[in-house]
Structure 1
Amino acid sequence: MKFIEHITFKTILAVLLLIYGANSSALSQNMSSEESSEINIEKKRFERRAFESAIWGQPLVAGNQMIEGAIEARQKLNQVAYFSQPPNWKFQQPTPNNSTLYLQLIYDVKDSPVVIEIPAETEQFKVFGSLLDVWQRPVVDVGGAGDDKGKGGKYFLYQADDESITVPEGYYPVPLRTYRGYGTIRIILPNNAPETLADAEEYIKTKSAQYYYNDSERLPHMDIYDMEYASVFPFDHTFFEKLQKVVNYEEIRVEDKYAMGMLSSIGIEKGGNFSPSEEQKVILDNIMSEVHLELQDHILNLPPMRWGDHSHWALPVAPSMIATQMTYEDENKIYVDDKAFTFYMYISPPVKLGKATAYLKLTHDKEGNVLDGKKNYKLTVPPNVPVSQFWSVLAYDLATASYIRNSDRIGLASTEEPQMNADGTCDIYFGPNELNNGVNYIPTEAIEHFFLLFRFYGPEKAYQDNSWMLNDIVEIK
């Protein structure tokens, strides 16, 4: 009996091979095929889980990178960062504008509520922006279209699940479902004259603030103009390292548990340390390349077109964005794909879309071809753009959804007094090399693909009722 107990599977297999002789080759091949099939199934499962986990986690990683990128630029929590001049290409975040000044805020309410002081609007300066959690869910709008209705005030940020916290009287409540978050506030200027910019900087530094509640420390404001201030990240295996980090820091909610099950099958657990093998890193690099292509495809093909077949200009949002007030959650489901696309493309969506601003997106020329950074184009903006404040058009790199790197001009706004035609139209040129002697010209740096956003600040009736329409962009051949 002891002899039998010590007979191993390998011994039995060897005996069988001797007995069956000629059939040993077939048996060996069958065993090899089964092992190969098992390995292939495991690999495919790993790939599936990684792809869907990346789509689910894109808004979370991108939101946390808004904070991490700011910290890498040496901004501290509760330190107000601002632009003393309109941003240049070094502001590498999803589709910002370059015709307003930004306040960039980062916060963490794990240890204490945070207070953000928003300045009151003046005749000269208007305020527009939102405060978001790390999932990039907008929690409250501020400024003229926000809760303070342009009067300014103190916003009280706190962890929504902490029942011990009472919002002080006179503060606007901002309950966060996560610990970390960020805010993006635009200071809208009447023009970009040097004296206006100087006044705006003084307005920002004296009227805005951020600090822990019941804490006397006030960090100095930080000017980030002409600094590399970025939240973009590579679409490779390091995405999952970033996802592990934020999963460890934040609380897991009921709606996250299914996704956490998928993450556990690729090696990410709450409180864990993601350590893929070299082979797995290669697989994840390929997966993230596919994810990146899918997100870009959403930008290129997301309906609906604003004016149907009459123009290629499109609404740059999914219908679910508006229906759920940017949360992408309703009583039945979470809109996973729409959510991932939005937070690949946008820096800071508001709770209420279209009240203070409206956007249109263009990805194709008049002939239906994707905009190519190596080609030349002309866009003719019709007269009487329906805005109470100003309009602007900016070019973005499809591969980053941010400014085209190293471009010395990233957009054009009506506040810059562009050259106008006698009939009130405005011709704007795009291409890798200078066009129109540099007048109304936006360089595309010969990148593979780009897209445009046309912004309406203070959209008026003719925009809302479609009685005014943008022209298609035309390739200059």
Structure 2
Amino acid sequence: MDIGRKASFWKGSRARTGCLALGALLVSACSTPPPTTEAVSPPAVQTRVGKVELQSGYPSEASVRMLYDEMDFQRAVQAYIWATPIVAMDALRIANVRDWGVDYNGVGIVDQYTGSAVVALTGNSTTIYAAAFSDLSRDGPIVIESPPGAYGVIDDYWQRPVVEVGPFGPDKGKGGKFLVVPTDYKGTAPRGYMVVRSKTNRFMYLVRGIVKDGNVKAAVDTLSTIRIYPQKQAASPPPTQIFKAGNKGMDSIAPRGYAYWERLADIIDKEPVEERDRFFHAMLKPLGIEKGKPFSPDERQKKILTDAAPVGFLMAQTISMAPRLSNANAYPGTHWEWVLTLKPNQEAPNYSQLDERTDYTFEAITVAEGMVKEIVGAGSQYMSAAKDSTGAWLDGGKSYKLKVPPNVPAKDFWSFTVYDNLTRSMVQNGTAKVALSSYDKLQRNADGSIDLYFGPAEPAGMASNWVRTMPGKGWFAYFRWYGPTQAFFDKSWRLPDIAPAS
């Protein structure tokens, strides 16, 4: 090796040695774990749900139990809210059987303007109604012969429209035979039937008879011709039970407390599990509510369900009475809110409308396209108010006044109904009058406006325009427009707030 090459070799060798040394240093540095912000795990962490004790960073045995209990409680509260529409629907069906003796495929008719004896979610004292429930899992496809002049909807058990009935439906108000079938139905319907599919086994047919010129009997007679029977009996249909309620009361409000879960467990066992709801079913499973299995919760599960029920109720009430939905307010600057903030199918582009449907179904029942469509001179529109002009909750022990401007934009009629804030049904005020409407002989002001009064004491000389409220009880109101005109939709006519009486 010559001197030049040797020098070159050692130069390269030293370079390689340096690289090896640096590589060893890097390996050493990388193999040393980074420093932690805490040398050891803390003994406990304070959280929103309480102190969680730790053992080497893991929850202690007691904390594991506490966290599971809290998890199941939170899930139960959310499941309570989720189940609001289907439990309300089942409560109405049960009331029909228990209080009126009307079972599946029978028809219950409210054959007079009803009052507070009928405890039903925001029942209407200005309309003649007929309702019937059917069960596809029991009877197979169901035939409903709907008469001309019946106006309403067939809703599934989640309160989604299966089909409109009347002017907005395929019968165009002329009546006809609806054949309600399950979603997997593969049969061929006979000619002349309007075939519609229900996503749930049970459904409700709800229609009203239009009262013209005060002729209630004609509306009742129309609804009395409804026929409902299984398709398999179409060759020789059995007679349809028609029950006219008269002044016979009923209580169709969903049960509170632990009984709510007993009702929900029964519903879940009888209805199909929809894809959108599978996570809720997963949340209910550790609480003892599972389709196909008996509901027999242990003491831990029962206590959690019992504790969760009042919280779920209050959260649902908050969503409904103090909605934070962006489309809830009807008249900016007032406390009037749209009763329906949801789409009838309960689906938004990117989510299922959980809060929107709770907003409605906590306080009302059944949804139809005709209740939300902007159709001038047809259908109906609804607003609600639970607060006065100062933003305070309406109080049955205080007196209030609402000045209804002249020329209410309703081609058919309008009504104002007072409801109890807990039962969400007509106030129990010891009188037969719980509503005021354009059907009534109301005193008018010189400009055509009408002053309506609400409170525990009758205002002097204004008994015709007054509804009694009860001290110690909160209330809310519905204002309904039937056949709303253009002034309603363009808001050139507006309702002012309900104001404390001076």
Distance in 2 of aligned mates of 1:417 and 1:167? 50
Distance in 1 of aligned mates of 2:357 and 2:218? 38
Q: CA deviation at 1:30?
A: 9.3
Structure 2: unaligned runs, 5 residues or longer:
1-52
Distance in 1 of aligned mates of 2:331 and 2:232? 52
Structure 1: unaligned runs, 5 residues or longer:
1-28, 122-126
Aligned partner of residue 362 in structure 2, secondary structure: helix
Matching of residue 158 in structure 1 with residue 177 in structure 2: no
Matching of residue 104 in structure 1 with residue 131 in structure 2: yes
Q: CA deviation at 1:316?
A: 2.0
Rate the CA distance shift 1:436–1:120 in 2: closer, same or farther, 3 A.
farther
- The one-character-per-residue Cα deviations of 1:132-166 (angstroms, maximum 9, x if unpaired) are 01111111111123222211111111112122x22
Match of 1:86 in 2: 113
Distance in 2 of aligned mates of 1:335 and 1:204? 33
Q: Percent identity, aligned pairs only?
A: 31
Count of residues in correspondence between the two structures? 432
Q: CA deviation at 1:330?
A: 4.3
TM-score, normalization by structure 1:
0.85
Q: Is the 8 A contact 2:288 2:297 kept in 1?
A: yes
Distance in 1 of aligned mates of 2:114 and 2:369? 24
Distance in 2 of aligned mates of 1:169 and 1:440? 53
Rate the CA distance shift 1:44–1:173 in 2: closer, same or farther, 3 A.
same
Matches within 5 A, 1:262-301: 262-278=283-299, 280-301=301-322
- The one-character-per-residue Cα deviations of 1:419-448 (angstroms, maximum 9, x if unpaired) are 222321111111123334522211222253
Rate the CA distance shift 1:331–1:300 in 2: closer, same or farther, 3 A.
closer
Q: 1:119 aligns with which of 147, 168, 181?
A: 147
Q: Is the 8 A contact 2:320 2:362 kept in 1?
A: no
Q: CA deviation at 1:317?
A: 2.5
Match of 1:25 in 2: none
- The one-character-per-residue Cα deviations of 1:100-150 (angstroms, maximum 9, x if unpaired) are 1000111111232112222213xxxxx421110111111111112322221
Distance in 2 of aligned mates of 1:284 and 1:166? 45
Q: Is the 8 A contact 2:170 2:194 kept in 1?
A: yes
Rate the CA distance shift 1:257–1:101 in 2: closer, same or farther, 3 A.
same
Match of 1:197 in 2: 216
Q: CA deviation at 1:88?
A: 0.9
Which range is displaced more, 272-281 or 451-460? 272-281
Q: 1:315 aligns with which of 338, 345, 350?
A: 338
Aligned partner of residue 168 in structure 1, secondary structure: coil
Match of 1:20 in 2: none
Q: CA deviation at 1:280?
A: 4.0
Matching of residue 70 in structure 1 with residue 92 in structure 2: no
Whichever residue aligns with residue 77 of structure 1, its letter is Y
Match of 1:439 in 2: 464
Match of 2:434 in 1: 410
Match of 1:240 in 2: 261
Q: Is the 8 A contact 1:373 1:450 kept in 2?
A: yes
Q: Is the 8 A contact 2:81 2:313 kept in 1?
A: no
Whichever residue aligns with residue 377 of structure 1, its letter is Y
Select the structure of larger CA radius of gyration.
Answer: 2
- RCO greater where, 1 or 2, for CA within 8 Å and sep 6 or more? 1
Rate the CA distance shift 1:458–1:410 in 2: closer, same or farther, 3 A.
same
Matching of residue 182 in structure 1 with residue 204 in structure 2: yes
Matches within 5 A, 1:343-382: 343-352=361-370, 353-354=372-373, 355=375, 356-382=379-405
Whichever residue aligns with residue 356 of structure 2, its letter is D
TM-score, normalization by structure 2:
0.81
- The one-character-per-residue Cα deviations of 1:262-285 (angstroms, maximum 9, x if unpaired) are 110111111112223445434323
Distance in 2 of aligned mates of 1:286 and 1:447? 25
Distance in 2 of aligned mates of 1:187 and 1:253? 34
Distance in 2 of aligned mates of 1:130 and 1:407? 33
Q: CA deviation at 1:214?
A: 4.0
Matching of residue 451 in structure 1 with residue 473 in structure 2: no
Q: 2:450 aligns with which of 426, 429, 438?
A: 426
Match of 2:43 in 1: none
Q: Is the 8 A contact 2:320 2:360 kept in 1?
A: no
Match of 2:242 in 1: 221
Q: Is the 8 A contact 2:144 2:226 kept in 1?
A: yes
RMSD of aligned alpha carbons? 2.1
Q: Is the 8 A contact 2:287 2:301 kept in 1?
A: no
Match of 1:61 in 2: 87
Q: Is the 8 A contact 2:319 2:355 kept in 1?
A: no
Aligned partner of residue 217 in structure 1, secondary structure: coil
Whichever residue aligns with residue 402 of structure 2, its letter is L
Aligned partner of residue 290 in structure 1, secondary structure: helix
Distance in 1 of aligned mates of 2:436 and 2:190? 43
Matching of residue 146 in structure 1 with residue 169 in structure 2: yes
Q: Is the 8 A contact 1:89 1:407 kept in 2?
A: no
Aligned partner of residue 68 in structure 2, secondary structure: helix
Q: CA deviation at 1:246?
A: 0.9
